[in-house]
Chains A and B, each alone.
Chain A
């Protein structure tokens, strides 16, 4: 008894399999319009460089961009990893202790009104000029979505599931690792995706405030030289970095929670 795709007409099946990448096409279209606008209207490069100008800069000066991009990536990765390493235990404590949750959670949420850019110079004063202040600044930004989403996820285990676990004689440990943590994974990973993007922003903020390397520094230096093209190039690389980190988490997500509706629903 074999199951056949009787309910999907062939044309539709073909279409869903080879559905065009709409977002990518839109992006390419926008870039073409931008390029045409620049060429036809003869916009000077010091006002708005064309995509071609930017590409030229990126290709010919790759040896300049690569080390800076690597520096920024390192800050992002370290900051992100530290945010997870600090955020997860805090989230677990908050979701298990009512008192801790009541005393810390509101402060945590409230702390988000502090603009991170504003405290960046403070971090410099406290942690000097090395890697540390930058990683700390990334943590202050990326840590929050990780904690909040993990707490929400860890608290989303239906009470019946806990009762079931107890009726099996599960230890606290087993309840956490077999029931609560898997249940929370979708939410935790959603938090990590947000954190990955915010980590890139955090790294740039840190490099703006005080640095002699990294893409944030590249933008500052180019800005003082009125090199608009260079600024655009750095922005393009930064966006690509952000997208890459987001994708990595998404791939991890697909592997870890293939059962979840957010993954299943996609084509």
Chain B
């Protein structure tokens, strides 16, 4: 519903790329991470951030990556976005090997990275300006996205007039403006309070609900990962590697109430246990 509404509006337009064309050009949204390692050379010597990471993500899947701080989650995101190079191994997205900045993507960081000098709407439209998308269709899409996250009354608000949660919603809209086949989010809700966080999780699921894009969601919250994901990739620290992958078979669409079910508790427990075994979580003996 989200796509069809705006995408039928575009037409031939000079040098502008229509959103529809973008959308069609990249229908394959699967990810294949093969044997990826990343070593940072620092003054204190080499740091192995990722070690032999293997992961396949299906089209339209919602995958969370969870692990303790410093286990290489952000590094993995940088590699997916083509903003850094793997030391060895390869990453393919939609059958294409990533070997430079990957623009077929939407990214959301923990800090919303809004441009302070642009209004909310204008921040979202930045994506269209840089990509030279057809302005009319882009604007319609931006307005629709802002509406979907409840910001229709804040088009002209400047970032400093928005709350943390609203700012992050704007940055999510910006990441989705061009209908990216892949959305990567690095602890996007990490800086928000619990209530706002719940709301943004719900908003995010709504935006993703037609599975038009693949989502890689990095978090350090077990509850968040279970609530959102189809699969949870659990990473172990130093050197960061994949410990286990857990399939979350909770029904969709998910409502907040799912968090009160035994099945949900079971998944949370399962991930918690893995971290206990890894020594990431320690408890006093009862």
Measured CB to CB, the residues of A under 8 A from B are 158, 160-161, 163-170, 174, 178-179, 182-183, 185, 257, 259-261, 264
B126 to A, closest residue via Cβ: A178
Q: Is the CB of B117 within 8 A of A259?
A: yes
B158 adjacent to chain A (CB < 8 Å):
yes
Q: Is the CB of A260 within 8 A of B103?
A: no
Whether A167 contacts B117 in the complex (CB less than 8 A), given A178-B129, A178-B130, comes out as: no
B271 adjacent to chain A (CB < 8 Å):
no
Q: Is the CB of B130 within 8 A of A163?
A: no
* Chain A binding surface SS class: helix
* Chain B binding surface SS class: loop
Q: Is the CB of A259 within 8 A of B109?
A: no
A261 partner residues in chain B, CB cutoff 8 A: 160
Whether A259 contacts B160 in the complex (CB less than 8 A), given A160-B109, A164-B107, A167-B105, comes out as: yes
A1 to B, closest residue via Cβ: B153
Q: Is the CB of A169 within 8 A of B130?
A: yes
- Residue with the highest number of chain B CB atoms closer than 10 Å, among A165, A167, A174, A261: A167
| A178 → B minimal CB distance (Å) | 7
A212 to B131, CA, bound (A): 58
B159 to A, closest residue via Cβ: A259
B159 partner residues in chain A, CB cutoff 8 A: 259
A264 partner residues in chain B, CB cutoff 8 A: 160
A261 to B158, CA, bound (A): 12
B112 to A, closest residue via Cβ: A160
Size class of the B contact interface (CB-based, 8 Å)? 20 to 34
Q: Is the CB of A257 within 8 A of B117?
A: yes
Q: Is the CB of A169 within 8 A of B115?
A: no
B209 partner residues in chain A, CB cutoff 8 A: none
A163 to B102, CA, bound (A): 11
Q: Is the CB of A168 within 8 A of B131?
A: yes
B113 adjacent to chain A (CB < 8 Å):
yes
B111 adjacent to chain A (CB < 8 Å):
yes
| A3 → B minimal CB distance (Å) | 11
| A134 → B minimal CB distance (Å) | 37
Whether A259 contacts B129 in the complex (CB less than 8 A), given A160-B111, A164-B109, comes out as: no
B132 to A, closest residue via Cβ: A169
Whether A167 contacts B83 in the complex (CB less than 8 A), given A158-B113, A179-B115, comes out as: yes
A67 to B46, CA, bound (A): 68
Q: Is the CB of A163 within 8 A of B107?
A: yes
Q: Is the CB of A259 within 8 A of B83?
A: no
B127 adjacent to chain A (CB < 8 Å):
yes
Q: Is the CB of A160 within 8 A of B113?
A: yes
A158 to B109, CA, bound (A): 12
| B155 → A minimal CB distance (Å) | 16
Measured CB to CB, the residues of B under 8 A from A are 78, 81, 83, 101-103, 105-107, 109, 111, 113, 115-117, 126-127, 129-131, 158-160
A185 partner residues in chain B, CB cutoff 8 A: 117
Whether A168 contacts B103 in the complex (CB less than 8 A), given A163-B81, A178-B126, A178-B129, comes out as: yes
B129 partner residues in chain A, CB cutoff 8 A: 178
Q: Is the CB of B101 within 8 A of A169?
A: yes
B107 partner residues in chain A, CB cutoff 8 A: 163-164, 167
A174 to B129, CA, bound (A): 10
Of A160, A168, A179, A259, the residue contacting B127 (CB under 8 A) is A168
Known A169-B131, A259-B160, A260-B116; further 4 A-B contacts with Cβ < 8 A: A160-B111, A163-B107, A167-B102, A168-B130
B158 to A, closest residue via Cβ: A259
A182 to B160, CA, bound (A): 16
A161 to B, closest residue via Cβ: B113
B127 partner residues in chain A, CB cutoff 8 A: 168
A164 to B, closest residue via Cβ: B113
Q: Is the CB of A165 within 8 A of B130?
A: yes
B131 partner residues in chain A, CB cutoff 8 A: 168-169
Of B101, B115, B160, the residue contacting A167 (CB under 8 A) is B101
A163 to B83, CA, bound (A): 7
Q: Is the CB of B126 within 8 A of A167?
A: no
A167 to B, closest residue via Cβ: B107
- Residue with the highest number of chain B CB atoms closer than 10 Å, among A179, A185, A259: A259
B115 partner residues in chain A, CB cutoff 8 A: 161, 178-179, 182-183
| A201 → B minimal CB distance (Å) | 32
| A107 → B minimal CB distance (Å) | 26
Whether A169 contacts B103 in the complex (CB less than 8 A), given A160-B113, A179-B115, A182-B115, comes out as: yes
